[in-house]
Amino acid sequence: MRYEDEYRRSIEDPEGFWAEQAKAIHWHVPPAKILDYDNPPFRSWFVGGLTNLCYNAVDRHLDARGDQLALVAISTETNLVREITYRELHREVNAFAAVLQRLDVSCGDRVVIYMPNMAEAVFAMLACARIGAIHSVVFGGFAAHNLALRIDDATPKLLIAADAGMRGGKVIPYKPLVDAACAEAASPPAKVLIVSRGLDAAEPKVAGRDEDYATLRAAVGDAQVPVEWLESNAPSYLLYTSGTTGKPKGVQRDVGGHAVAMALSMRTVFDVGPGQVMFSTSDVGWAVGHSYNVYGPLIVGATSLLYEGLPVNPDPGIWWSLCEKYGVRTMFSSPTAARVLKKHDVDYIRRHDLSSLQYLFLAGEPLDEPTAHWITDALGKPVIDNYWQTETGWPVLALLPGLDMKPVKFGSPGFPNLGYRTKIIHESTGEEVGAGEKGVLVIEPPLPPGCMTTLWNDDARFLRSYFGHFKGLLYSSLDWAIRDEEGYTFILGRTDDVINVAGHRLGTREIEESVSSCPVVAEAAVVGVADELKGQVPVVFATLRQATGEAQVRIDAADSMRKQVEHSLGAVARPARIYIVNALPKTRSGKLLRRSLLALAQGGDPGDLSTLDDPNALEDVKRALQRGPEFGG
């Protein structure tokens, strides 16, 4: 099947196309109407259809593949591996659902899940889906304040937390964070359910509020909980965006549209079917974790690997040894992770038998060419960049090897995915730009199934944030893009990451790409710092592949970066200053926090740091700023 034909059908006859895709999932009652678009840009897919995500992910597979592995939860932190068949998953999800009911959770109630990548996090999500409760997974690495913000937005009846997480062997107790978040929140949950792994000696229980999972699990035994059939457009879950650019947004997803989009993308993009194995290294707290660790692989009857731990522990070959052991067909990770592995010997990859592995998909951030080349050479498999957002829930731009394998073009996530009417438009005129011209990537509504239905309790912010930028009704991705003559789209960074140097508009991403192409550079971030003369000037922060304390080595490295930028982009893009640092500040999801870098570079306050991963990185940047740049003055 050719991509071009399928894509054309999905755009020219969306109702016909999606009616056909809907057959891939189980409907208790089939939809009466495929699309309702009476109140644009809001839209409803598969109206009147009754279905259930848990049924599609678990129950439906019991007959054909009850004894097949559904989930393998591997932790190199607790050194525990749990291999769970579909039958076992069914039992555990039913038990968890029975526990939820005992805690008075019912259809439409919100449940916040604050857990690391452990099997019970998946049980909890599916148990919510089973009874129609709306889960909101909060990344386990977030601090109490972040948790409190999300609690107040979702107003959950129940919070489910692990006793502790672990990172690099260090135990991070969750209970004190939960207590602090509940104290800070204006509307804390009535109940807190603790799933203990015995990592944290029990903190004192709050009487009447705290419950212990193991106790309740034992009490419910092998209880069976009937599936709640939900209208396709009922909310299934809430998930907050990464908060890279500001206050996180509570993305609301539906039931039927999400299931159908998962089934379609597993087949066409990720090329994984029943009985095959997918390994996504994401955390369940992110969109990738929801879609491609939990719902996607399980809905199609595949086996999903869930990993808790660092990519370099016990050694940088750990992921590839898992690929070998479980016969992983499709792997999904992030450019940040690939850059971490790039600092180590390729032999950690090459020594493993990766004959089952067909693809490595990477998403979440721009994939710089040097990293793409390095990992492609190391693996000898296609490395497929794909572009999407928490909001969309599945790739907007990708290659679709499940239909036909187009050549990979480094730096490009490929083509519009099925059902996405993407356009690149001029930022001020709103006109579509030609090939080779830069513009803003937009999606013409109605958004396809699986994309957000709105922001939780905030239709106004939904309209303002995504549809308020251009004349006419267009969903703005808030990312710059450019399309080449062959139709490959390239992402050039976020629209708020543009620098205006003496009237020339430069994307920070273009300069970063150029700096990163220097062999000595591990990673680079570029911000536009205010300048009296030129308006803004590019300032570079870079880490080196080989950390060095020697001043001259750093100065030489900075000099090669400057030359590289001048050579590839011209003198106009020449960095005003280059700072060599040991680490760059990132969000917990591994994205560069450019807004904080910019604030520091301008002598200001780094702003909301609630999503910052490693405070040392920020301190390191401050030290570098005090010490002075390796290039410029």
Task: List beta partners, residue 598.
Answer: none
Number of residues that bind Mg ion (CB under 5 A): 1
- Residue 45: closest CA among 232, 230, 251, 231: 232
Backbone angles phi, psi at 355, to 5 degrees: -65, -25
- Write the CB contacts of 170 (distance below 8 Å, at least 6 apart in sequence): none
Question: What is the Cα–Cα distance from 615 to 631, expressed in whole angstroms?
Answer: 25
| Chain residues 223-242 in contact with Mg ion, contact rule CB under 5 A | 241
Give the range of 106-114, 385-393, 592-600, 620-628 binding ligand ATP by CB under 6 A: 385-393
Smallest distance, Mg ion to C-beta of residue 456, A: 16
CB of 248 to Mg ion, least distance (A): 9
Stretch of 185-193, 360-368, 432-440, 553-561 lying at the interface with ligand ATP (CB under 6 A): 360-368
75 binds ligand ATP (CB under 6 A): no
The answer to whether the beta carbons of residues 260 and 25 sit under 8 Å apart is yes
Residue 389 Cβ, how far from Mg ion at the closest point, in Å? Answer: 5
With contacts defined by CB under 6 A, name the span among 73-81, 301-309, 382-390, 429-437 that binds ligand ATP.
382-390
Q: Which stretch binds ligand ATP (CB under 6 A): 43-51, 357-365, 431-439, 456-464?
A: 357-365
C-alpha to C-alpha distance for 412 and 415, rounded to whole angstroms: 9
The burial class, CB within 10 Å (0-12 / 13-18 / 19+), for 367 is buried
DSSP 363-376: -SS---HHHHHHHH
**Residue type at 253?**
R
Nearer to ligand ATP, 153 or 365 (CB): 365
Could you say which residues in the range 172-211 bind ligand ATP, by CB under 6 A? Answer: none
443/454 Cα distance (integer angstroms): 15
Closer to ligand ATP by CB, 182 or 597: give it. 597
Q: Minimum Å distance from CB 499 to ligand ATP? A: 16
> Do 380 and 353 form a contact (C-beta atoms < 8 A)?
no
DSSP summary character for residue 305? E
* Nearest CB to ligand ATP, comparing residues 117 and 412: 412
**Binding residue for ligand ATP, selected from 41, 413, 449, 590, defined by CB under 6 A:** 413
Chain position whose Cβ is nearest to Mg ion: 241
In the complex with ligand ATP, which residue's Cβ is closer, 253 or 591?
A: 591
Range 605-624 burial, b when 16+ CB lie within 10 A, else e: ebebbbbbbeeebbebbeeb
Q: How many residues bind ligand ATP (CB under 6 A)?
A: 23
If one asks whether residue 241 binds ligand ATP (CB under 6 A), the answer comes out as: yes
| Phi, psi (deg, nearest 5) at residue 347 | -60, -25
CA proximity to 255, closest of 126, 418, 101: 126
**Least CB distance to ligand ATP at residue 247 (A):** 8
The residue among 131 and 593 lying less far from ligand ATP, judged by its C-beta, is 593
Sheet holding 69-75, edge to edge: 80-85, 69-75, 303-308, 277-280, 330-333, 359-362, 383-385
Cβ closer to ligand ATP: 77 or 479?
A: 479
Binding mask 493-512 for ligand ATP (x = CB under 6 A): -x------------------
SS3 333: strand
To ligand ATP, the closest distance from the beta carbon of 398 in angstroms equals 9
Among 31, 248, 301, 507, binds ligand ATP (CB under 6 A): 248
Q: Single out the residue of 420, 579, 451, 445 nearest to residue 17, CA to CA.
A: 420
Residues 573-612 that bind ligand ATP (CB under 6 A): 589, 591
* Rounded Cα–Cα distance for residues 46 and 42 (Å): 14
Contact between 613 and ligand ATP per CB under 6 A: no
User: Which of the choices ligand ATP, Mg ion, none does residue 272 contact, using the CB cut-off of 5 to 8 A by kind?
Assistant: none
Decide: is 132 part of the binding site for ligand ATP (CB under 6 A).
Answer: no
Which residue lies nearer to ligand ATP by CB, 254 or 479? 479
CB of 159 to ligand ATP, least distance (A): 22
Stretch that binds ligand ATP, among 244-252, 318-326, 372-380, 510-518 (CB under 6 A): 244-252
Cα separation, 329 vs 348, whole angstroms: 19
Token output for 206: 């709050």
In this structure, how many other beta carbons lie within 10 angstroms of the beta carbon of residue 628?
10
Cα 71 to Cα 67, 89, 290, 297, 301, distances in angstroms: 11, 8, 14, 9, 10
387 binds ligand ATP (CB under 6 A): yes
Name beta bridge partners: 361. 332, 384
191 binds, among ligand ATP, Mg ion, none (CB under 5 to 8 A by kind): none
Provide, rounded to whole angstroms, the least separation between the CB of residue 239 and Mg ion. Answer: 12
CB of 251 to ligand ATP, least distance (A): 8
C-beta closer to Mg ion: residue 317 or 395: 395
Among 74, 100, 363, 372, binds ligand ATP (CB under 6 A): 363
Q: How far is the CB of 215 from Mg ion (least distance, A)?
A: 40
Q: How far is the CB of 249 from Mg ion (least distance, A)?
A: 8
Cis peptide preceding 41, ω within 30 of 0: yes
Q: Are 169 and 132 in contact (CB under 8 A)?
A: no
- The answer to whether 296 and 270 have CB atoms below 8 angstroms apart is yes
Stretch that binds ligand ATP, among 18-26, 384-392, 512-520, 544-552 (CB under 6 A): 384-392
Q: Which is nearer to Mg ion, 196 or 241 (CB)?
A: 241
**What minimum distance in Å lies between the beta carbon of 479 and Mg ion?**
8
Among residues 477, 516, 517, 564, which is the contact residue for ligand ATP, using CB under 6 A?
A: 477
Whether the Cβ atoms of residue 291 and residue 393 lie closer than 8 Å to each other: yes
Give the H or E element holding residue 230. strand 230-231
- Work out how close the CB of 397 gets to ligand ATP at its nearest, in angstroms, rounded to a whole number: 7
The two tokens of residue 207 are 């009487």
* Cβ-proximal residues to 145 (8 Å cutoff; 6+ apart), any chain: 181, 184, 610
Separation CA 248–CA 151 (nearest Å) = 13
Q: Which residues bind ligand ATP (CB under 6 A)?
A: 241-245, 248, 363-366, 385-390, 413, 477, 479, 491, 494, 589, 591
